[in-house]
């Protein structure tokens, strides 16, 4: 084995969460080494939603001005029935929304956000970035950890941050060998020039069409030059360990009977790749020795609340802050980080799953959903306060009553939590 390179902090994963963690800790004066298994630092995907809680984190990461230059700030969230075309409900996200939460609601291209975080890390003398480093083994040494890569590179770190995503090797070390949970839904996504879009396309709205076991989300990105679309549906051909499901033919069969604007949008959605929908049950612990999880490695969630990247950004800021507040006591800092984040992110995970069930309802359940949503006052934001108004640095730990409320429904022996509305 080659001599291990000694690093104070090693971040495994160069995605949004990993780069945000490196940026956050460098702003606290810590030296950080980031390793990424891909040949280059890049991000796959298209559009990304950034709720006020994410913008609050980006402000603390000192990249908000750069993000604003590329983002779009819609004035409303519009929910429509994908079958009838009827408006179900609207959430105005203008000045009153911004005043309540301190920041607006933004949408942007995922690669743009990643690029801004990457540039910020590259500009810092405290951050080192390495590619082609696929982690194959992590050894917990109590007050340190040893990380070995496929090419023989080894790192001896005082702290290892596992930001290695849904299929995290770091998470396995903490005792979770179970595979991610497939929801049997797939997404087709992509961007097209604004000029190619239907009459509902524009910079002022983010549109969500919901229908039986499907939904379509549309919004502008990259300063309004592109239009992002995500078409999601449940495949009834799903089989574990098979890739022959959620096909383009199923996509067309599912969307063709829907409203004409949904059908028209289908013609411009990319079909070269599909994304299967996965999450995992909340973990009891994110920490082992000097090894800690962050982002999707800690709490992968379904996309239905658009909070995956938002929660990873909150994690990054929180981890750096509580390590700093704990001075030289790393163990105490990691405990404070976990206490501040674990219950809240579990609530986001479970609410995302519940909201997916609501949006994809069929028959009488869908009629009941539409009727209830139409009754809500568009200016009533109270349902969003727990999420968009949450500041993990202001309240380090969820109350005991919330913890019991969200975690007491764990199924015996499965480490799973039943869906529970937010």
DSSP result, 274-321? -EEEEE-PPPS-SEETTEEE-GGGT----GGGS-HHHHHHHHHHHHHH
Positions marked catalytic: 219
**At CB < 8 A and 24+ separation, what contacts does 36-39 make?**
36/129, 36/130, 36/131, 36/133, 37/131, 37/132, 37/133, 37/134, 37/135, 38/14, 38/131, 38/132, 39/131, 39/132
Collapse the DSSP code of 182 into the 3-class scheme (helix H, G, I; strand E, B; otherwise coil) and give the result: strand
Q: Which helix (H) or strand (E) holds 153?
A: none
CA 111 from centre of chain: 14
Cβ-proximal residues to 312 (8 Å cutoff; 6+ apart), any chain: 16, 17, 20, 163, 294, 295, 296
105-136 in b/e form (b: 16+ CB < 10 A) is: bbbbbbbbbbbbbbebbeebebbbbeeebebe
């Amino acid at each position: 084995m080659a001599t291990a390179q000694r690093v104070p902090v090693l971040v495994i994963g160069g995605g949004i969460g990993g780069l945000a963690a490196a940026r956050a800790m460098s702003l606290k004066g810590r030296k950080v080494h980031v390793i990424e298994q891909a040949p280059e630092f890049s991000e796959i995907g298209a559009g990304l939603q950034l709720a006020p809680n994410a913008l609050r984190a980006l402000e603390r990461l000192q990249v908000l001005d750069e993000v604003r230059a590329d983002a779009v700030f819609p004035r409303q969230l519009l929910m429509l029935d994908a079958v009838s075309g009827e408006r179900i409900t609207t959430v105005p996200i203008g000045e009153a929304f911004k005043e309540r939460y301190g920041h607006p609601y933004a949408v942007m291209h995922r690669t743009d956000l990643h690029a801004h975080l990457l540039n910020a890390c590259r500009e810092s003398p405290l951050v080192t970035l390495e590619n082609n480093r696929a982690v194959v083994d992590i050894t917990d040494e109590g007050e340190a950890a040893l990380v070995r890569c496929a090419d023989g590179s080894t790192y001896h770190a005082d702290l290892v941050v596992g930001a290695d995503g849904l299929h995290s090797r770091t998470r396995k070390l903490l005792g979770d060998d179970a595979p991610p949970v497939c929801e049997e839904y797939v997404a087709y996504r992509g961007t097209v020039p604004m000029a190619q879009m239907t009459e509902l396309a524009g910079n002022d709205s983010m549109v969500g069409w919901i229908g039986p076991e499907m939904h379509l989300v549309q919004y502008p990105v990259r300063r309004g030059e592109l239009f992002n679309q995500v078409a999601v549906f449940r495949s009834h051909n799903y089989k574990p360990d098979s890739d022959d499901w959620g096909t383009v033919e199923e996509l067309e069969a599912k969307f063709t009977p829907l409203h004409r604007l949904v059908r028209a949008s289908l013609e411009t959605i990319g079909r070269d790749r599909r994304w299967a929908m996965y999450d995992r049950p909340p973990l009891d612990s994110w920490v082992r020795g000097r090894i800690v999880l962050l982002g999707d490695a800690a709490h992968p969630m379904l996309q239905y609340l658009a909070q995956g990247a938002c929660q990873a950004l909150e994690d990054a800021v929180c981890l750096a802050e509580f390590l700093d507040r704990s001075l030289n006591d790393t163990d105490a800092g990691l405990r404070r980080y976990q206490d501040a984040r674990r219950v809240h992110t579990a609530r986001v995970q479970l609410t995302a799953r519940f909201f997916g069930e609501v949006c994809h309802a069929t028959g009488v359940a869908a009629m009941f959903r539409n009727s209830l949503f139409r009754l809500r006052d568009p200016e009533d934001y109270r349902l969003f306060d727990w999420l968009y108004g949450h500041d993990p640095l202001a309240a380090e730990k969820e109350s005991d009553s919330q913890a019991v409320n969200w975690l007491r429904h764990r199924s015996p022996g499965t480490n799973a939590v039943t869906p529970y509305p937010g």
